[in-house]
Amino acid sequence: MTASQDLDAVLDRAEAAAAFGPGSPPDPQDLAAAREARPMPPPLARLYARANGLIFERVEVFDLADYEDVNGEDELFALLPGVVFFGSDGADGWFLLDPDQILGGGPDSVYWSERGALTPDECRLAAPDLAGFLSQALAGAALNDGLEVGQLSLERLFEALAAHPDQAVVHPGYGDPEALLAARERDLPIPFGLIDFYARCDGLYLKPLELEVYGLADLRPVEESQTDAGPGALWFAADRAGRRYAVTCGGWRGLPENRLIMTARPEEVGDAATLGRFTDVLRVWLETAGESR
């Protein structure tokens, strides 16, 4: 079956189980108003064409009024631009779609985020697509306890390193909790995502790019990123061409933690390009180099 057929099938099951919200199907004018507040990815628009929200044992899909209210709060999107909130776990979390793929997954993936911590790396993967999400919700799943996006990205990086052993030299990591203790000794605002990286490896060398990722002891603050709370980024890597790479600590330049910045002029790092989550960037570089051989 196609993705649309899969979604229609699970909506049929939800309707038979009396899970559709009151006022289903919604008034077309209400649907249009909600879509104006926040454009809906096609699967979500297909859902709302039939149901004015859904109510499951542990999951609720917003009715159109709640969809419009939640997605109209601009401050929610400071670190999650482009996402679309569409449901609740009935407690402290919301479910969302990521059509712009800022979280590093596919455009169909469904995520959960704690309302008090709307940051990219702390979002959790809930389901591969909306149909799968609804099917699990219909079965009574909570869907708020998946792996964090940052952890998934880290796992994918080390899977790529294992698949391309000739492309990199990987230095043994600190392990847990030694990496956390070592990070505390540095008295730097090292993000937890970076600490998790150093638990697995204490730096590495990407041969095709001639790029060295520093060990934890060699991290240095980016002086240009200094704020009242400390440095907003740490020098993390360098390559033979003279480019330097920094990883953000969160807040500086409006960026979340663990974003990789590249510059050929360290004094201009404040305006330098942001490449993405450092683990995603390293993995893509590694896989691209491996495929080109």
pLDDT tens per residue across span 167-188:
999 999 999 999 999 999 999 9
Segments of the chain with pLDDT less than 70: 290-293
Are 43 and 129 a contacting pair, CB within 8 Å? yes
| H or E, element range at 113 | strand 110-114
Give whole-number Cα distances, 192 to 106, 144, 154, 177, 183, in Å: 24, 20, 12, 12, 9
The reported pTM is 0.85
> How far apart are the C-alpha atoms of 151 and 65, rounded to whole Å?
34
What pLDDT, on the 0 to 100 scale, is given for residue 290?
A: 54
Residues 215-220: contacts with CB under 8 Å, at least 24 apart: 215/171, 216/174, 216/179, 216/182, 216/183, 216/186, 216/190, 217/182, 217/186, 219/186, 219/188, 219/190
DSSP β-ladder status, 220-221 and 244-249:
unpaired
What pLDDT, on the 0 to 100 scale, is given for residue 119?
A: 87
Best CA proximity match to 131, nearest among 9, 278, 291: 9
What pLDDT, on the 0 to 100 scale, is given for residue 248?
A: 96
Domain range 150-291, CATH class = alpha beta
Give the CATH number of domain 3-146. Answer: 3.40.1580.10
How buried is 148 (Cβ within 10 angstroms: 0-12 exposed, 13-18 middle, 19+ buried)? buried
> How far apart are the C-alpha atoms of 184 and 270, rounded to whole Å?
26
- Indicate the domain borders of the chain: 3-146, 150-291
Per the DSSP assignment, residues forming a β-bridge with 61 are 54, 87
